[in-house]
Amino acid sequence: MVIRRYQRGSIALTSNWSLGDWKRRRRLIPFVLIAGYVAGWAASPLLGSRTPSDLDLFFWPSAELAAHGHPLLVYSAPGIDDNGPLGLVPLVPIVLIANALGLANNLQVRAGMACVVVAVFALLLGTEALRLLDGARGATRWRLATMCVFLFAPALVISGFDYGHLEQPIELWLVLLALRYTAMERSVVAGLALGLAVLTRTTAVLYILPFILLPMATRRWKPAASLLAVTGAVVIGGVVPFLVADRTNVVHSLLTYRPDLPIGGGSLWVAIRGTATAGLVQHGDVYLIVAVVAGLIAVTIRFRPTMAMTTAGVCGLLSVAAACFPMLAKAVYPYYLLEPYVFAALWWLARPGSALNWRIAAPLLVTAGASLAELGRPLPMSSFGVFEGVVSSVIVATAIVLVMVDLWFGSA
C-alpha cells in the first residue's frame, strides 16, 4: 500500500489514514445517536417535578406483586384493566433493581428507568417500520428523518413520559412484526406475534380483523385459519394461568369492568350524557367499535381488494381500526392516539412518490387530536371538556375519512 505524505510547513498529512479514521467514526454515529436517544428518555423525568402517573398508580404496584413472588396475582392490584400481563414483564426487573437500590419510592427515578424500556421498544418499532417501508418502496430515502417520524412522535411522548404506558410501543412493535411475517406468508409466526400483542394490550384484538379478512377475501382459508388459531392459542395460553390463580380479578380487569365505567372526558359521547341513549353507549361502546371497524374493513376489502393487499393498504386498514377506538370509546385518554398515529404514518410513508403530499394530513390530524386531548385532560367536562371531547373525535374521524378515501379511490 502506498501512503502519500504531503509536507506543509511542519505538519504531515496522511490522506489514507484520515479517510480510515472518518469511516470508523462514521460507523459509530448510529450507536451514539441510539445511546443519546435512550439517555434522553432516561433523563427526562429527572429534569423537573413529577406527579403520579398510570405507571405509579397501576403498573408499578402490579409489577411489585410479581417481583415479590406473586406473578399470577398481578390483577389483584387495581387499575391495570384492559391491559394484558405481557406488558408488565419488562417492568419487573426494573422494580427489582429499584428495590435493591432503595429507589422504588422515588417517582422521578423509577419513571426514568421505565422510560428506558419505552426508548428501547420505540427504537425497535422505528426499525421495524423502516423495514416495512423498504419492502413497500424498494428503498427509503432520508432514513434518519423517517425514523424520527416515529421516535419523536408527540403521541409517544404523551404515552411514555406523561402516562408511563410502556406497553404501547411493545404492542405496536409486535403488530408490525406480525405484518412483516404475514407478507412473507409465515402465518404461524405472524399469529404468534399478534397473540403476544393482544397479551400486551387488549386493543390489539381490533387488529386481528384485517389480518384474517384479507386472506379470506381471496379464499386463502389456510393462512387465515392458521393465523387465527395460533393467535387464539397464544392468548388463551397466556391468560389461563392468571384465570386459574385469580379468576375474579382477571375476569373483571379484562372483560367485565368496562360496562361499569361512566362516559368520561375526551369522548364524543359527553355530548349526550344524561340522556336515554347514554346508557346504550355506556354498556355497548365496545360492540359499536368492533362493528364499525369490521364494516369499514370488509367494505374496503370487498370493493378494493388490490389496494387493500398492498403494504400501504394494510397499514391504512390498521390505522382505521386503531382510530375507531378513540373516536367511539366512551372515555378517551390522549395516549390512545399513539396507535392510530403510528399506522397512519406508515400508510402515508408507504404510498409511492414523494412524502410531501396530502396524506401527511392524517398523522398530523391524529397528533392534533392527541394534543387537544392532553390540553383538555385537567378541565371539567362542564366547560372546555365537552368541547374538547367532541372536537377531538371529529378530528380523528376526519383522519379516518382521508385514509378511507385513499383506500377506496386511490391508485394501487
**Contact yes or no for 176/132 (Cβ under 8 A):** yes
**Contact yes or no for 397/366 (Cβ under 8 A):** no
* pLDDT score for 8: 44
How many angstroms separate the CA atoms of 278 and 276, rounded? Answer: 5
Q: Is the backbone of residue 82 left (phi > 0), alpha (psi -120 to 50) or beta?
A: left
* pLDDT score for 197: 97
Lowest mean pLDDT among 64-68, 136-140, 353-357: 136-140
Cα radius of gyration (the chain): 23
Return the SS3 of 392: helix
Map grid coordinates 378494493 to a residue: 304
* pLDDT score for 23: 65
If you average pLDDT over residues 211-239, what whole number do you get? 92
| pLDDT for 12 beyond 60 | no
How many angstroms separate the CA atoms of 247 and 269, rounded? Answer: 32
Residue 4 confidence class, pLDDT cut points 50, 70, 90: very low
If you average pLDDT over residues 138-156, what whole number do you get? 91
How many angstroms separate the CA atoms of 193 and 178, rounded? Answer: 5
Q: Quick: pLDDT tens for 179-194.
A: 999 998 899 999 999 9
* pLDDT score for 88: 94
Residue 404 confidence class, pLDDT cut points 50, 70, 90: very high
Question: Using N-to-C axis directions, what is the helix angle for 311-328 and 107-137, rounded to 10°?
Answer: 140
Instruction: Please give the share of the chain, as a percent, with pLDDT higher than 90.
Output: 64
Q: Quick: pLDDT tens for 32-43.
A: 999 999 999 999
Residue 118 confidence class, pLDDT cut points 50, 70, 90: very high
* pLDDT score for 384: 60
Q: Quick: pLDDT tens for 275-317.
A: 877 888 888 889 999 999 999 999 999 999 888 889 999 999 9
If you average pLDDT over residues 254-258, what whole number do you get? 82
Residue 261 confidence class, pLDDT cut points 50, 70, 90: confident
| Higher local confidence (pLDDT), 49 or 198 | 198
Question: Using N-to-C axis directions, what is the helix angle for 208-217 and 187-200, rounded to 10°?
Answer: 150
Three-state secondary structure of 115-149? HHHHHHHHHHHHHHHHHHHHHHHCCCCCHHHHHHH
CA atoms within 13 A on the CB side of 51: 1
* pLDDT score for 191: 96
* pLDDT score for 385: 64
If you average pLDDT over residues 89-96, what whole number do you get? 96
- Burial class, 149, CB count within 10 angstroms (exposed 0-12 / middle 13-18 / buried 19+): buried
**Contact yes or no for 195/208 (Cβ under 8 A):** no
Nearest residue to 62 (alpha-carbon basis) of 47, 81, 46, 42 = 81
Look up residue 2 and give its three cell numbers.
Answer: 502506498
